[in-house]
Every structure is written in C-alpha cells, then in structure tokens.
C-alpha cells in the first residue's frame, strides 16, 4: 500500500481481487482499486468505514483534492473508501482499447453483463471484511451509486450500517421505456427554463444546429458533430451550474475568418470535453442495461421513445421556426457512430440492447422489511432521475427518510459542500 498526503487528509491506495462472476468465485478474477481517505492525524484511530459509490454507470470515483465537497464532512467521523467500480478508473478499465482482449462483440457483451449494480454490490461485500474486519459499513450512493445502494439493501443488508442516497433512488420495476417516457417532458422543462434565463440562446442554438446540418464538422480527435450530438449538450442542464456552463459555451460558438463564420476552436474543444465518452465509455455501453430486468430487451429505448416526442427532432425543428430542444441523459445508436471512443463498441452495444436474460436488480419484498437506517435526498424535478419514481421507491423501503428539495440539482451532494451529507446523516440517525 502507498500512502500520501493532501491538505488535511491522508490517502492510501488500496487494491483488491474479486471474481468476474460471483457465482463462480474460483473463475476469472478482476483487480479493483479504491482510495482510502482519512483526516490528517486520525490515521491510527478506530473509525467506522464509509464507502462511496459514484454515479454513472461506468464512471470512476471522483478524484477529490483535499476536503472538497462532501468529503470534508465525511472524514470528520469516517474512514472513507472512494471505490472505482469494476471497469472504471483503475479497476480493470474497460474501453475500446481493452475490450478486444475478450474476443469479438459477443464475448465482450457477455463479459460486460457482469458489470451492473448487482456485481458491484457483490464486489463491495467481498472487499468489506478485508477492511472492516466484518463490521458493517455506511454506503453513500450518488445517482447510479444510489441504484447500487438500493440493490445492496435488497441483497446484502447485513453488510450495511447506514445508507445515504443522493439523487439516486431508482424505480424498482420500471422498464427503460418507462424511464425515458418520464424523462423527455422533464428534459423539456429544463431546456425551457434555460431559455427563460438566457433568451439569446434560442437564436444561438438554432444557428449552431443549422451550421452543423450543413457542414457536419469533425472535431479534434475525430468526433462528428451532428445536430443530434449537439443536442446532447443538454446533459449539462441537470447540474447546479449547468445552465450557465451551456450559455457560456454557446456564446463563443463562432469566429469570423477569411472563409466566413466558422466554429471557434474554443467552442469545439468545449463541446468535445462535454460530449466525448473517451474517459467513460461504459456509461454509454451499459446505460440502458442498468434498467433491464427479465426478458424484455432495452432495444435502444431512448431512441424509440423519443419518437413519441417529435419536438425533440432536430430536422423537424430546423424545418420550422421553433426553438431547438436539447436532450439530456440518453444514449442513442448514433452515439456509436459520431464518437470515435464508441465506434469500435457499436456491435457490442447492439448485443447488450438485444439481451433478454437480465436478472432482477431489486427485491421489493426485502426492501419492505428493511431494518437499515436509510436517508435519501430527492431533488425536485431532477433531470436525471424521475422524482415520482424515487418517491414511489421511498415509500417501499421501510424506514427510509426523504429530504425533497429544490435547492439543488442532481449534483447536490457535491455542489453543497458538507450541507447535504450532514443533513442526510442527521435524518438517518433520527436527529433531524
């Protein structure tokens, strides 16, 4: 183990070995990585553990510097494990470079079927005794991390001391179609709110989309910026300062050159930073699979359901005079055409979208008998996770206490500093 310091904290690199398939513990193994964080001067203290499960899917644990965001509050009383979930960060990363080692697309799809919430929770239960000596620990789940925490409550509650969820109470039985059917109206409200705040962006967004429809520019690195890809910038609107980020990006879109107006280098680089999946390809490959349970394939649900909302069709919008609607957290087949980080994984993604043997992720009966203290922040009109779905699940989990708030967007636990985590810990302890 290697330890090192940042302001106010001591960090230690932790490495673990877990089975690829927990039903076959003697089979192929994966290497997992976690970063232990403890307050300076408390390294030798007997502290309870908190494991952080990042949002996603397919995104490694956030790389904090010192006591940023909620971490400063957590290390007041916990030893924290920032776990890179399997396939992410330093935990046997899976991407266009590494997945060909598995074989062809069919082998890759079979392999990635082991990278959902249920396997992540089994990983946690394999790791926990090594760190805690068998004692239960606290789980903090942000977004998809909350989906994992809900699976944890369904399958291994004996490993849990407390569960804290931020913006991540999933629907227990909704299909991917149900999720996106609820999402598109919510996304539209976020876009309309953005245009109310920045009315000048209505004209700017249309002008950019018209330029893209005519020129189809290729960004640095080979990303093909189509009008549909441009619409995906709406993913920013689910964050606390996302509307402002989008506005500043749009206002720098064009520069005058000897050949007329062209997309500025600054705009192209800014767009690429938001849209490229090079750093987290599993987010795209597995996104709809996180909702899959049973024999019904996801079958590119976001793309199919979008057909029920023609106001999101860029070509139809540009043929008329209405405002261009951005989209949000949705993955479409064309993502695997425009993004060079995803192109080699297109057939693998197709096979996962057609898969019909997904095991159940949640156990409503066990959740109804829950005895673990649970508190969840539900962000009002959260763009990424439907509020009504979350509240319905909250009513299912026995003893769960909710904090419904419109003070923050989906990233409240990060954007609020210590406040959201402090409030949720108090709720879980019945101190608030």
**How does residue 328 score in pLDDT terms, banded at 50, 70 and 90?**
confident
Instruction: Give the end of a domain, one of 332, 353, 374.
Output: 353
346 and 207 inside one domain: yes
346-405 pLDDT, tens digit per residue, is: 999 999 999 999 999 999 999 999 999 999 999 999 999 999 999 999 999 999 999 999
Asked if pLDDT for residue 156 goes beyond 90, the answer is yes
276 an active-site residue? no
Range of the domain at 206: 176-353
244 an active-site residue? no
pLDDT at 42 (0 to 100): 92
90-146 pLDDT, tens digit per residue, is: 999 999 999 999 999 999 999 999 999 999 999 999 999 999 999 999 999 999 999
Residue of 24, 46, 196, 357 marked catalytic = 357
pLDDT at 180 (0 to 100): 97
410 an active-site residue? yes
Residue of 119, 143, 330, 390 marked catalytic = 143
Query: For a pLDDT cut of 90, what percent of the chain falls above it?
Result: 97
Instruction: Give the end of a domain, one of 353, 370, 396.
Output: 353
130 and 207 inside one domain: no
300 and 206 inside one domain: yes
Q: Considering the entire predicted model, what is its pTM? A: 0.96
> Quick one: average pLDDT of 299-313?
97
pLDDT at 154 (0 to 100): 98
Instruction: Give the end of a domain, one of 353, 379, 406.
Output: 353
In the chain, how many domains are there? 2
Asked if pLDDT for residue 171 goes beyond 80, the answer is yes
348 and 400 inside one domain: no
pLDDT at 101 (0 to 100): 96
258-274 pLDDT, tens digit per residue, is: 888 899 999 999 999 99
Q: Residue 79 in contact with residue 50, Cβ under 8 Å? A: yes
Residue of 154, 276, 410, 411 marked catalytic = 410
197 and 234 inside one domain: yes
Cα separation of 138 and 8, whole Å?
Answer: 22
């Amino acid at each position: 183990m290697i330890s090192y310091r940042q302001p106010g904290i001591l960090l230690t690199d932790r490495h673990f070995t877990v089975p690829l398939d927990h039903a076959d513990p003697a089979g192929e193994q994966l290497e997992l990585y976690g970063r232990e964080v403890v307050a300076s001067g408390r390294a030798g203290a007997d502290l309870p553990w908190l494991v952080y499960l990042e949002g996603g899917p397919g995104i490694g644990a956030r790389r904090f510097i010192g006591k940023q965001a909620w971490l400063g509050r957590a290390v007041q009383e916990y030893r924290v494990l920032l776990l890179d979930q399997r396939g992410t960060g330093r935990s046997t990363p899976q991407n266009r470079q590494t997945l060909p080692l598995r074989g062809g697309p069919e082998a890759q799809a079979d392999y990635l079927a082991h990278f959902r919430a249920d396997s992540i929770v089994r990983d946690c239960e394999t790791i926990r005794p090594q760190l805690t000596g068998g004692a239960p620990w606290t789980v903090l789940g942000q977004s998809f991390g909350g989906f994992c925490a809900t699976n944890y409550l369904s399958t291994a509650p004996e490993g849990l001391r407390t569960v804290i969820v931020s913006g991540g109470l999933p629907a227990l039985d909704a299909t991917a179609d149900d999720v996106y059917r609820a999402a598109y109206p919510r996304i539209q409200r976020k876009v309309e709110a953005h245009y109310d705040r920045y009315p000048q962006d209505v004209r700017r967004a249309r002008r950019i989309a018209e330029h893209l429809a005519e020129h189809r520019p290729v960004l640095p690195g080979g990303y093909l910026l189509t009008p549909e890809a441009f619409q995906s910038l709406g993913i920013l609107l689910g964050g606390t300062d996302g509307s402002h980020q989008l506005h500043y990006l749009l206002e720098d879109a064009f520069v005058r050159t000897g050949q007329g107006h062209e997309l500025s280098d600054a705009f192209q680089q800014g767009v690429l930073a938001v849209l490229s999946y090079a750093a987290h390809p599993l987010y795209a490959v597995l996104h709809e699979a996180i909702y899959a349970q049973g024999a019904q394939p996801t079958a590119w649900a976001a793309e199919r359901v979008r057909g029920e909302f023609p106001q999101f069709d860029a070509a139809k919008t540009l043929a008329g005079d209405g405002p261009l609607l951005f989209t949000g957290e949705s993955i479409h087949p064309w993502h695997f055409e425009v993004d060079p980080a995803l192109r080699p994984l297109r057939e693998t993604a197709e096979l996962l979208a057609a898969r019909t043997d997904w095991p159940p992720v949640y156990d409503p009966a066990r959740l109804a008998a829950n005895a673990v203290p649970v508190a969840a922040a539900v962000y009002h009109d959260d763009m990424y996770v439907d509020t009504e779905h979350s509240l319905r699940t909250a009513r299912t989990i026995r003893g769960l206490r909710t904090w419904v708030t419109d003070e923050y967007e989906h990233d409240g636990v990060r954007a609020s500093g210590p406040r959201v985590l402090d409030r949720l810990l108090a709720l879980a302890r019945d101190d608030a």
